[in-house]
Amino acid sequence: MTKIAVVALGGNALLRGNEIGTIQQQEKNTYDTCINLINLLKKGFEIVITHGNGPQVGNIMLRNEAGYNTYKIPKMPLDICVADSQGGIGYMIERQMKNILSKNKIRKNIVTVVTQVLVDKNDPAFQNPSKPVGPFYLKEEADLLAKSNNFIFKEDARKRGWRRVVPSPDPIDIINKKIIKQLVQKGNIVIACGGGGVPVFFDEEKNLQGTEAVIDKDLASSLLASEINAEDLIILTDVPKVYLNFHKPNQKELDLVTISDAKKYYDAGEFGSGSMGPKVLAAIRFLTNGGKEAVITEATQLGDPNCGTKIISD
């Protein structure tokens, strides 16, 4: 039986917080992150790679505005911007993974699937934008952009600045799940659900339509992992473990956590809604739906058998 791991790359896999996002920076970060995935292949896993797109889709939207204001180039809706980011980021990951496999003398095909993810058009998230996209701004810059473009901004929980927020509806189904499962079961590395997937819904005539939103990539990754019967869900972020009382004097790292304890901590508000919260919720959902193990860690820790925070069933 094929042993599958879904690996969700965090935003820092492509772009560090202190970088402006040149292609050279993003390609180096992608390589440095993906080289750690060799450890999973050596353990016998077939892998599906998912990824975020917050900085990239934010920049695409800024180009939208600049192109319209300067040259009257028609603006594209957010679902098209997400699809654009899936293609560009998928290409970067695909190429860097190919280079890594070649250096390690591993022969595997890699394919990127531009993935549509079904959402409910009546999801209450559309009335409460919460998903950060794009760069950090000073308060004064955010106020100007909000006024001129009708954007909504919120301050980052870690006080790094202000970011634009957009609706983030819950993922219901992965439209491309069957072909993704077929591809990975045949030994291909699949890159899917980029940026949480392109958000789509069924209209009254049962036609798929795009919508102005960005789906959380960890929740989409969890759903995909369940739908393709993955054993493991591995969520890579910029910290080695999950912590209680994060950034407080009594901070405590978590090594092995049962799903019931994870739910208890989550319900108590231990994890930030814009940071660790969706990752823990994604792990809970994955295990509830039959997954074997969820791991939240930093990419360089993957070679360590005791890496990260492991969440398991009771």
Q: How far apart are CA 34 and CA 93, in angstroms?
A: 8
Specify whether 105 is catalytic.
no
Specify whether 159 is catalytic.
no
Specify whether 11 is catalytic.
yes
Give the N- to C-terminal CA distance of the chain in Å, as an integer.
Answer: 24
List helix spans (H) across 8-138.
Answer: 23-34, 38-42, 54-71, 78-103
Catalytic residue among 177, 181, 241, 279: 279
Catalytic residue among 181, 217, 241, 310: 217
Catalytic residue among 11, 54, 58, 274: 11
Say if residues 284 and 229 touch (Cβ distance below 8 Å): no
Catalytic residue among 10, 58, 64, 131: 131
> Residue written as tokens 């004097």?
249
81-100 burial by CB neighbour count: b if 16+ within 10 A, else e? bbbbbbebbbebbbebbeeb
Specify whether 12 is catalytic.
yes
CA torsion angle 233 239 243 246 (round to 10): -140
Tokens, residue 295: 């791991």
HSE on the CB side for 178, CA within 13 Å?
Answer: 1
Coil, strand or helix at 167: coil
Specify whether 177 is catalytic.
no
Tokens, residue 128: 């409460």
The residues assigned a catalytic role are 11-12, 131, 217, 279
